[in-house]
Chain A
Amino acid sequence: MRHTAFLERFGVSGRGLVVALPYLWLLLFFVVPFVIVLKISFADVDLAIPPYTSLLQWEGANELSIRLNFNNYAFLFTNELYIKALLNSLLVAFVSTLFCIVIGYPMAYGIARARPKTRNILLLLVILPFWTSLLLRVYAWIGLLKANGVINNALMSLGLIHEPLAMLYTPFAMYVGIVYSYLPFFILPLYANLEKMDWQLLEAAEDLGCRPWQAFYKITLPLSRNGILAGSMLVFIPAVGEFVIPALLGGPNALMIGRILWDEFFSNRAWPVASAVAILLLLLLVPFMMWYQSIQARESAGAR
């Protein structure tokens, strides 16, 4: 009691404190870094530490001038590489999401319709990969896909092929890696949605003349729409900026915006351009994130 009284003297209530904490967290670890990145994106490259110019400069004694450099953004739009990388990233994320839907939907459906005991085991299997680091799992894929890797060796010893298939460092390997890594993010929200389904609706549909697949198409699919969208956003949004998987599995030709960002930042030490890329990527993804938020809100409101 005495503590709250002490705080209340400064106009802080316990309730306000609880609400303030997450905001403080967001301010410190999201807004501040974002503002820094935004600032850098308007700066110029400089041979200094840190390697960019300051936006604020004293001109004489009493005059503070702000210098905003839009060249970084102009550079992004005039240089084909960035536009291409951005479009390619969107395409890769989109295709990966499609694969996640095709592979993940039957899995989520199967889990939701399994008996409660089996269901927990299946869910555990979906979550199990998270117990190992992503990097290790992607490296494991290198071992599977490389020229003398597990898959090629197995196929050759079976006599199905005579030359190893070139799988590693191809778009194929990159898609395998992305779909594999992001599949649980698709399955879990969809499962949560399907698990709430009233399966008697399917019996009602069959009773009214639907074959089982028609009942699925007319009842299950529309009712799980929000689950599909939520899962898709959870795959699509991070996949656009994905760096590790294309870098390790996709080979040198995988043109992804995440890799460009990495190269600009670490290889070219072009922090302002890298920041501009980051801001652009964020702006591009904001509509998708807002969409995801509205789906989540609808889902928790219970209205379909």
Chain B
Amino acid sequence: MATPAGAAVKAAPWRDPNAKPYVQIERVTKAFGDFKAVDDISLKIYQGEIFCLLGASGCGKTTLLRMLGGFETPTSGRILIDGEDMTGVPPYERPVNMMFQSYALFPHMNVEQNVAFGLKQDRVPKAEINERVASMLELVKLGDFAKRKPHQLSGGQRQRVALARSLVKRPKLLLLDEPLGALDKKLREHTQFELISIQDKLGVTFVVVTHDQEEAMTLASRIGVMNQGEIVQAGTPSEIYEFPSTKFVADFIGSVNIFEGKLIEDEPEYVRIGSPELGGTIYVSHGISAAPEATVWAAVRPEKVFMTTAPPEGTDNVARGAVQDIAYLGDLSIYLVRLPTGKIVRVTQPNTSRHAEAITWDQQVYLSWDSTSPVVVTR
């Protein structure tokens, strides 16, 4: 197993009120005409983090990244990097480098010249340039390709040249725009772990834009989920996954079953929700803050739903239905169970045994879950 994501951040500085953030985004808005691509975002990113901006295309994540790089100017608000106000500072004077989604390698230069470009620009002595370029190419395992032109490289090699070129100037902050987007799945998984180990080795702060939630979960120390120009929730991958703050986040990260209902019992230690969609009640073993009689949603992850042929004990958190569809994925199977109310519930079960007594199509099953499993959100 690789090191945990964002291993460079040991102490979760975002929980320490005295920690000094490296990047401060203060009430930043970017409007194109009437359209607000980024809408009043405030965010603190700490040294050594891998912060992922996650969202569907058009949610404003790339615009936010481009503002960090200096390629767009905020309409209002300001950005501080290492305590310095970046307003009016052009890209070529920022202590920041960017890895572009298209990689933007210079086609008329070979790999070595591409990587050396930024150092030459800074008038670094020639001997030092050679040394730094060589060691950087070594780091991204491209030592043998130094004299190749970009069009002679594969997608994965180009990605590594782009990474080397943006890292060789030793930026304190590296911006990565869909860094793995152009790679196929196997290569992407491999490169994710490489990125983490390089980041760990160099101690650079990464801000990564991605639309791929799996990529975000693997890479990030924290994820900022974006929707329509706003950050809906920011937190560690497990916080985002296990404690989504809204229906949107719950639905966007992974798959989830959402049951709409109304609070019928609201105590400090527990709540009970009546859900017509489920055709029963949901019991949650912790209190929530919501108005009485308010509409709430209980989100239950597919892997936290138990599926049995015998009826479980109790009357809360139970439903009966018929298996409508099964998808066998090898390591696990996905079951779609249709409740009498018409609601389809998604259940995943690990295939722990090679010769399991399989549940088959149209079979009547009982679904249930622990009272700690549902997450209740109010919007």
Contact = CB atoms under 8 A, between A and B. Distances in A.
A46 B285 CA distance: 118
B92 A203 contact: no
Contacts of B121: 208-210, 214
A218 B165 CA distance: 16
Contacts of A59: none
Interface stretch (B41-49, B101-109, B233-241): B101-109
B151 to A, nearest CB: 7
A304 B107 CA distance: 7
A252 to B, nearest CB: 48
A204 B100 contact: yes
Contact of A201 (B92, B96, B97, B104): B104
Interface in B90-120: 90-92, 96-98, 100, 102, 104-108, 117-118
B122 A203 contact: no
Given A198-B102, A200-B100, A303-B151, A205 B117 contact: yes
A219 interface: yes
Interface string B47-64: 000000000000000000
B229 interface: no
Contacts of A200: 100, 102, 104
B92 A209 contact: yes
Interface in A210-247: 210-211, 214, 218-219, 222-223
Contact of A223 (B71, B92, B104, B107): B107
B147 to A, nearest CB: 16
A207 interface: yes
Interface in A182-209: 198, 200-201, 203-209
Interface residues on B, range: 20 to 34
Contact of A206 (B90, B105, B107, B165): B90
Interface in A138-174: none
Given A203-B100, A207-B97, A209-B121, A219 B106 contact: yes
Nearest to A203: B71
A209 B107 CA distance: 18
Contacts of B91: 203, 206-207
Given A204-B100, A205-B117, A211 B106 contact: no
A303 B151 CA distance: 8
A211 B102 contact: no
B179 interface: no
A211 B70 CA distance: 13
B108 A304 contact: yes
Interface in A116-135: none
Nearest to B107: A304
A216 B165 CA distance: 19
B302 interface: no
Contacts of A201: 104, 106-107
B69 interface: yes
Contacts of B92: 206-211
B169 interface: yes
Q: Which are the 8 A-B pairs with shortest beta-carbon distances?
A: A208-B118, A209-B121, A204-B104, A206-B91, A200-B104, A207-B98, A206-B92, A209-B92
Given A201-B104, A207-B92, A214-B121, 12 more contacts: A201-B107, A203-B71, A203-B91, A204-B100, A204-B105, A204-B106, A205-B106, A208-B117, A208-B165, A208-B169, A211-B92, A223-B107
24 contacts: A200-B102, A201-B106, A201-B107, A203-B71, A203-B91, A203-B98, A204-B98, A204-B105, A204-B106, A205-B106, A206-B71, A207-B91, A207-B97, A207-B166, A208-B118, A208-B121, A210-B92, A210-B121, A214-B121, A218-B117, A222-B108, A303-B151, A304-B107, A304-B108
Interface of A: 198, 200-201, 203-211, 214, 218-219, 222-223, 303-304
Interface of B: 69, 71, 90-92, 96-98, 100, 102, 104-108, 117-118, 121-122, 151, 165-166, 169
